[in-house]
Amino acid sequence: MRTELHFSAQDLALTRFAVSPMQEVVTSLRALAHSPVPALHRRWAGRVRERSAAAGPALERLAALVPPTGHLPDFLNPAPTGFSPTLAEELTAITATGAGQVRVDLDILAAEAGGRLPALLAPLYRDPAAQLPRLAADIEAYWELALAPYWARIRALLAADVFHRSRQAAEHGTARMLDELHETVRWDGSALRLEQRHCGVTRLSAGAGLLLLPSAFAWPRVLTRVLPPDPPQLIYPARGTATLWERPADTTDRADALAGVLGRSRARLLAELDSPGSTTELARRTGLSPAGVSQHLTALRAAGLTSAHRAGHAVLHARTAVGDSLFDQGGRAFE
């Protein structure tokens, strides 16, 4: 199916980028729901599924709301008001959604499921105002489990994509930037053509402009959202997504280079935190005692190199952006 989004000069002038935590929540849930999980996300999915029991019924309710195919509820992805809203800001917008919009989205899900809404979503349909705060809590629980430990890495990928596209627009013009967003997206001088069967975008009474959102989990698709009076949204795979979960080949060399500065045990832990884990997991992966791991993590966290995120009954440790930068440059800076 070919869809065209016609542009005016005002639309081009109001085209902007944003990075949305909720967009990554929704698209990552869809990636997890696929069987098999897309190859480039399997390493991440394996870690998340190991810990999924900690999320309890929260993950089951979210899975019912974000099925593997078909409609993605529009109310889950409010239009970002700035470049980089926080998850809390987006959850505030979600909990303020009117009952009518929630039920419209749920009616579509029911129609796609043969006319019957999943039982887990029945309370949300009956009383959206009362259930939306619980939905926000479910999303927070999933975020801490699946995305918070990796968010510095994901956000860096998305920001790098926006930087590239912005530079491309500055050097070659907005038309060139739009034409190279994705192989299924083509700019013809007056309209943006979306040559994908699952895309359905029309201008209708949608707001002016175009909101472009890079995503780590949308791959390989381009997704759209049109909900007046918001501007249309185009969600496209960020550049470099294929390398997001790759472990650097020279991990051991970099850890060795940092050992003289941090100590061998802390350098080893920093290397292992390429993939976030609990104290118990890290003890198993490194051969250190849980008490020793805890002591070293406390020191790394105090130095701003790691962070801790609660996921159910577990606490997951991850490298911060500072820790990533130090580790990524360790093989050069400390040789």
Express each pLDDT in 85-95 by its tens digit: 999 999 999 99
In the predicted model, is pLDDT for residue 316 greater than 60? yes
Q: What is the pLDDT of residue 227?
A: 79
* pLDDT band (50, 70, 90) for residue 30: very high
Contact between residue 315 and residue 306 where contact means Cβ atoms under 8 Å apart? no
Question: Structure tokens of 157?
Answer: 């990928």
Q: Would the pTM count as exceeding 0.85?
A: no
Q: What is the pLDDT of residue 31?
A: 92
* Three-class DSSP category at 70: coil
Contact between residue 236 and residue 186 where contact means Cβ atoms under 8 Å apart? no
DSSP type of residue 277: B
Longest CA–CA span in the chain (Å) reads 64
Contact between residue 231 and residue 14 where contact means Cβ atoms under 8 Å apart? yes
Q: In whole angstroms, what is the distance from residue 125 CA to residue 127 CA?
A: 6
* pLDDT band (50, 70, 90) for residue 331: very low
Mean pLDDT throughout 210-238? 87
Q: In whole angstroms, what is the distance from residue 314 CA to residue 47 CA?
A: 13
* First-to-final CA distance of the chain: 55
Q: What is the pLDDT of residue 207?
A: 59
* pLDDT band (50, 70, 90) for residue 34: confident
User: How far is CA 75 from each of CA 30, 204, 211, 315, rounded to the nearest angstrom?
Assistant: 16, 19, 16, 30
DSSP type of residue 274: T
What's the chain's average pLDDT?
82
DSSP E strand stretches across the chain: 2-6, 16-17, 185-187, 191-195, 211-215, 223-225, 233-237, 306-311, 314-319
Mean pLDDT throughout 26-38? 90
In the predicted model, is pLDDT for residue 284 greater than 90? no
